[in-house]
Structure 1
Amino acid sequence: MGIDFDNIFQHVIPMDDFGRKWRFTEEKYDILPDQHLDQLKPLDKEAANFLWDYISKTNLHNDIPFKKDFFRTIDNTRILDGNEKEIKKWLYHRGLPFDKPVFLSWDETDAMIVPWKLLIKYFDSFYYGGSDDLTIIDHSLNWALLFFHEDEIYFGTNNDFKTSETFADIDFIW
């Protein structure tokens, strides 16, 4: 039986088996409280590959940050030293329910399911600038978030959405 969004939760693995667990469990990086760590659902390599293929087959990133005309609205922000609170506020204003499970895909071998609220709270543990390109979606692909390795975040949506003016004066790569 193949992996799909109906059975992907059957492919959750223990945190100890997850290649990027150090981001959430080592003092040098970040130690999440057990109550939050328990809500992170790392996926096995087959499920990570399913998400990677799903994103690839939709051509979501054919144009960076998103395929032309895939979304009606694209908003962006930049991660700067000391603006963590602004980034959390920007993420919060995407309007997603706090308890919504979202799918994180780093690459074809590492993926995870987390509640939206924990992505907001610990975004800087999930994303490391300079090394990560992290795509976040739900199964509908009515919206997507790209943490681009140049410390830029892009949010595309087909929902009615008013873009942020906070970073309007900053030059973005795209």
Structure 2
Amino acid sequence: MNIQIDKREIIPLSDFELGWRFDKGHNSDISDYDKKEILALSENESKRLNKVIDYYEIESNRMGKYLETDWFSANSENKDKVERFRNQVEKYLKPFNEDIIISWERKLTLKTKKNIFIKYWTDFLYPGSDDVTIISERTNWILFYNHCEVANIWIKNKS
């Protein structure tokens, strides 16, 4: 299954409730080029996409079709831990080159590139508040982030 977004439903990042996470004042490292790759979606489009995401959030719908990794630390308290998470995600997702959909809740969703997420993951995932589902546009994998600073990935079986 491929998840398609309606390009007419892309909204300015400045109008997105979590768009401030990608402002220069919050993240001085983010380039204008990278920021253009973060596509905020309207509330209506987010709700539509979350109907698909809801299906994959039910574990029984993934069983037998996906392999689950162990939960691993997604701690961002220092550079070493940030890099450790980045390396683990890169290792698991290396075979996949597709855009991703990130959903914080039914009305807050965006689309971006896998490498943008990996590079700036601490702006996408906030400890203590965020429970986030990230799914590849071809549904080859799903990453679940829990506000307790752990994550796991479900990767589609090739068999």
TM interval, shorter chain, is 0.7 to 0.9
Q: Shift of residue 50 of structure 1?
A: 1.2
Cross-structure match for 1:95: 94
| TM-score of the superposed pair, with normalisation by structure 1 | 0.77
Alpha-carbon distance between aligned partners in 2 of 1:96 and 1:148, rounded to the nearest angstrom: 24
1:48-59 equivalence runs, <5 A: 48-56=46-54, 58=55
Residue number among 134, 155, 158 corresponding to 2:156 in the alignment = 158
What do residues 99-149 of structure 1 show as CA deviations (whole Å, max 9, x unaligned)? x21111111111111110010000000010110111111233231001111
1:30 aligns with 2:27: yes
Name structure 2 gaps, 5 residues minimum: none
- Cα contact 2:14–2:20 (8 A) shared by 1: no
Q: How has the CA–CA distance of structure 1 residues 114 and 6 changed in structure 2, closer, same or farther, with 3 Å as cutoff? A: closer
* Alignment deviations for residues 14-65 of structure 1 (CA, whole Å, 9 cap, x no partner): 11111101101052x3242111111110001111111211111x2x23349x
**Counterpart for residue 61 of structure 1:** 57
Q: Could you say what secondary structure the match of 1:30 adopts? A: coil
Alignment of 1:119-130 (within 5 A): 119-130=117-128
Q: Which residue of 1 aligns with 2:69?
A: 74
Identity percentage of aligned residues? 20
Larger radius of gyration: 1
Distance 1:138 1:10, change over 3 A: farther
Counterpart position of 2:83: 85
Q: Is the 8 A contact 1:104 1:112 kept in 2?
A: yes
Q: Verify the 8 A CA contact 1:96 1:116 in the aligned structure 2.
A: no
Higher relative contact order (CA 8 A, sep 6+): 2
Offset, 1:5:
3.6
Structure 1 distance, partners of 2:57, 2:4, is 24
Deviations 1:135-165 (A, max 9, x none): 11123323100111110111001246xxxxx
Cα distance between partner residues in 2 of 1:157 and 1:110: 24
Mapped contact 1:75–1:156 kept (Cα < 8 A)? no
Provide TM-score, normalisation by structure 2.
0.84
Structure 1 unmatched runs, 5+: 161-174
CA contact (8 A) 2:3 2:138 kept: no
Work out the number of aligned pairs and report it.
152
